[in-house]
Amino acid sequence: MRGADRVRKLLIVRPTNSSNAQDGRSFIETARRGQIVEAAIETLAEVGYAKTSLTRIAARAGISQGLISYHFSSKQDLMEQVVTEVNADMERFVEARAGDADDHAGTVKALIEGFVRYCADRPAGILAVGQIENAEGWAAEARERSIADFEQLLRGGQEAGEFRSFPTRLMAVTLLAALEAVPGELRAKPETDPGVYAAELAMTFELAVHRTGR
């Protein structure tokens, strides 16, 4: 299995059990929903969850408040949609740029680089999702899924003899945390070169996981 496949497998979009995954939407409905989600993302990234009201989102989208309720059954429904769409978008992005690494170390590196580049390209989405997960208390579920994915990759590296022995869960948690810090850092220091950031992060985890001695 080549790296691209590994990343693809890792980032596969999981079906949501909530009711907003139904299809059979008209073109206009899909467009409106997208517009609202976009406005929500921008608002969340800009002012934070606490100050993000439906009124504010509607104002940003240039539509009436009522229309949001027409398209989303509740504020929570909209927030779920934001999380789903951003995750799907990010996964598509990362997968597309995943290198053709043929070992696990390369896959980790590709993953990190893809994510950092995504954050540099479209920082609002990740910031928005961070706000939502934190505020709504959904961090736990989302985290578990990501952690499980990372663990699988790390365990694969250990089994292939590439990585040293370590508790995969803790390393996965740490890797996830390091990635989650990226958009905030890029916002705090916009002059940061994403390439350097990605390379440094990749190096850090390469050193942390690779098999020592030999």
Partner DNA sequence: CATGAATGAGCATTCATTCAT
Partner DNA sequence: GATGAATGAATGCTCATTCAT
User: Which DSSP category does 210 fall into?
Assistant: B
User: Which DSSP category does 24 fall into?
Assistant: -
Candidate segments 2-10, 12-20, 33-41, 130-138, binder of a copy of itself by CB under 8 A = 130-138
Binding status of residue 173 toward a copy of itself by CB under 8 A: yes
The pattern of x and - marking residues 84 through 113 that bind a copy of itself according to CB under 8 A reads ------------------------------
Interacting residue with a copy of itself among 2, 143, 155, 211 (CB under 8 A): 143
54 phi/psi in degrees, rounded to 5: -60, -35
Binding status of residue 28 toward a copy of itself by CB under 8 A: no
Site residues for a copy of itself per CB under 8 A = 47-50, 130-131, 134-137, 139-140, 143-144, 166-167, 169-171, 173-174, 176-178, 180-181, 184-185, 188-189, 192, 196-197, 200-201, 203-205, 207-208, 212
